[in-house]
Chain A
């Protein structure tokens, strides 16, 4: 519909331009024949009338297109709603619907929406129905299409790249959410597509296949392979972190195994950081072991900061990691020191709090604030230290940071009020250590 609108705008603009040129040409000819002012005025009115007609045609075309788009969108929503209900009923044990050819895409989109919300036996039932109705096969066929000559297609089928059409990418995105096992070879191939949306759909699909697989160990290596191929494309590693972290959270019980391998690999730092981010979000059992092993093995830069952040999120740091965390508080990178300050909440207070006191006097404002907030989140002892720092810390900026943190996050009314101790008294009681 977007392309149709562009064509309509172009055509109506051409029509208007032709109308204006014709009437203006006629006007010139008329002026050439005679200088009669009555006829000149009449010709001017004719010219303006022509422009008005052209503009009216444009307006009618636009309104018609907008109405058509709205009508079409409403019809798509209605059909999608009907199909979502059909899939949900099927998942609940009712007879699976039969799908007409013209409904293949709508039914597939609805199934993707349902499977985004559903897992377990009900999801298996929907996937089986997708297979039996031919929807999965159709989507795989559409998603496999790439533009270019036959020879070029052969080339990209070997190397996995290519320029897929928008329909192909849309089909792959549907498959990604549906995560049928038979689409896995396609995901592996599409991970190196030149089209980023296509490649990302492949990445998500592989992770979701792993999440839905009964025996995840079979697919862990496939996910690693896809990620390695995806980020192997130039310039992708640097921008992969947020998407990859989100995709990895779809790997279900396989998240830990994949992240463990990614963190231990020689892939670029942002990829390791994404795996650690996923562990921070999912917090699967065993995540602490993976993160602490990685820290002890030696992480640098972005990955080091991510590992510290993950430990802080989980709230537990093994004893052997304390040395690494304390060393990170001296790191030259401000971002690492910020995350080290947060990670100090997961070590015993007799070790963490003195270090936080020191970090309150750090040269960086961000580190000082992180230290103050970490103290606030360190139970009763941390809270007491924070209140002491407001009064007693030798560094004036440390006292300010402690005061800001004592007001809590996003409380401008409290921030605007006067003394820190009175403001602190209005806060809820701190968590017990």
Chain B
């Protein structure tokens, strides 16, 4: 688990978790959202993120990959949802059945990779807004 650090910011940061085995994607999220003032925590597998759920203060949004080395992200959407995180599912290939499963489990959005960073930012902002609302 790695977390971006901020200094001297009185306004509480919004928290974003990224659960993805792709280092490149985690770096992209870290870079883009870190600059935008989010507190980004990254996980390279499902179990470490689920373990962190029980000990860490929950974030606002989690970007959850489907195909992870230790399991299927879709199976654990509800676990993140129970802890108050708005779940945005991301994957290289999202089939219709997976879309149905994700929304049925409580995901607020599904994003297909490769991502346009401006679109990703807008959709995560919307997911965070929906979670607050």
Mark A residues whose CB is within 8 Å of B: 80-81, 84-85, 88-89, 91-92, 110, 113-123, 246, 249, 280-281, 283, 313-315
Report yes or no: B93 in contact with A88, Cβ–Cβ below 8 A: no
Closest to A113 in B: B24
Per a CB cutoff under 8 Å, which of B24, B27, B96 touches A313?
Answer: B96
Per a CB cutoff under 8 Å, which of A117, A121, A313, A315 touches B28?
Answer: A117
Mark B residues whose CB is within 8 Å of A: 22-25, 27-28, 31-32, 35, 92-93, 95-96, 113-119
Closest to B30 in A: A88
Residues of B contacting A: mostly: helix
How far is B31's CA from A315's CA once the two chains are assembled, in angstroms? 39
How far is B116's CA from A119's CA once the two chains are assembled, in angstroms? 5
Report yes or no: A281 in contact with B23, Cβ–Cβ below 8 A: no
CB distance from B71 to the nearest CB of A (A): 15
How far is B48's CA from A317's CA once the two chains are assembled, in angstroms? 44
Q: What 10 pairs across the A-B complex have the smallest Cβ distances?
A: A120-B116, A119-B114, A113-B24, A117-B25, A88-B27, A114-B24, A313-B96, A117-B24, A84-B24, A88-B31
Residues of A contacting B: mostly: helix
Known: A88-B28, A119-B115, A281-B96. 16 other contacts (CB 8 A): A92-B32, A92-B117, A117-B22, A117-B113, A117-B114, A117-B115, A118-B24, A118-B114, A120-B116, A121-B118, A123-B114, A246-B93, A249-B93, A281-B93, A283-B96, A314-B96
Report yes or no: A116 in contact with B27, Cβ–Cβ below 8 A: no
Report yes or no: A114 in contact with B116, Cβ–Cβ below 8 A: no
Report yes or no: B24 in contact with A89, Cβ–Cβ below 8 A: no
List the B side residues contacting A122 at CB < 8 Å. Answer: 116-117
List the A side residues contacting B116 at CB < 8 Å. Answer: 118-122
List the B side residues contacting A113 at CB < 8 Å. Answer: 22-24
Report yes or no: B95 in contact with A281, Cβ–Cβ below 8 A: yes
Per a CB cutoff under 8 Å, which of B22, B24, B117 touches A120?
Answer: B117
List the A side residues contacting B95 at CB < 8 Å. Answer: 280-281, 313
User: Would you give 15 A-B contacts (Cβ < 8 Å), ordered by A?
Assistant: A84-B23, A88-B27, A91-B117, A92-B117, A113-B23, A114-B24, A114-B27, A114-B28, A116-B24, A117-B24, A118-B115, A118-B116, A120-B115, A120-B119, A313-B96
Per a CB cutoff under 8 Å, which of A85, A121, A281, A314 touches B27?
Answer: A85
CB distance from B26 to the nearest CB of A (A): 9
How far is B69's CA from A226's CA once the two chains are assembled, in angstroms? 34
Report yes or no: A84 in contact with B27, Cβ–Cβ below 8 A: yes
